[in-house]
Amino acid sequence: MYERSNSDPSAKNEIIFSLSVLINSRSDNLEIMVKENTLKFQGLKKTIDFICAEMKDVKEKVSDLEKEVAREEGRVDNCQQRLAELERYSRRWNLRLQGAQETEKEDI
């Protein structure tokens, strides 16, 4: 590949310098990319934290609403039972007479 020559140290220095510049420029590019990725990850972390907080709030609201719905269902059941009892009570006191003669203005 390359011939080793001990006679030209300036050529070796130029090669070493050009390799050093190349390595430095690539490492600088890598550092820039790492910084950009770090910023992106930090932004994503903030977004995820915000979404998690919102989800926690939504879960709490859903839990509260589920409790309220259960309470209201209990009230509706209670009202339905009371209504059924009132209807039964009303029917208990209604008498239907069959075969009795009606007089004027009576509807038996």
Model confidence over 21-50: pLDDT tens digits?
A: 999 999 999 999 999 999 999 999 999 999
Q: What is d(CA 90, CA 84) in angstroms, rounded to the nearest whole number? A: 10
What is the pTM (predicted TM-score) of this model?
0.51
55-104 pLDDT, tens digit per residue, is: 999 999 999 999 999 999 999 999 999 999 999 988 887 777 777 777 77
Measured over the CA atoms of residue 36, residue 37, residue 42 and residue 44, the dihedral's sign is: positive
Tokens standing for 20? 């050093």
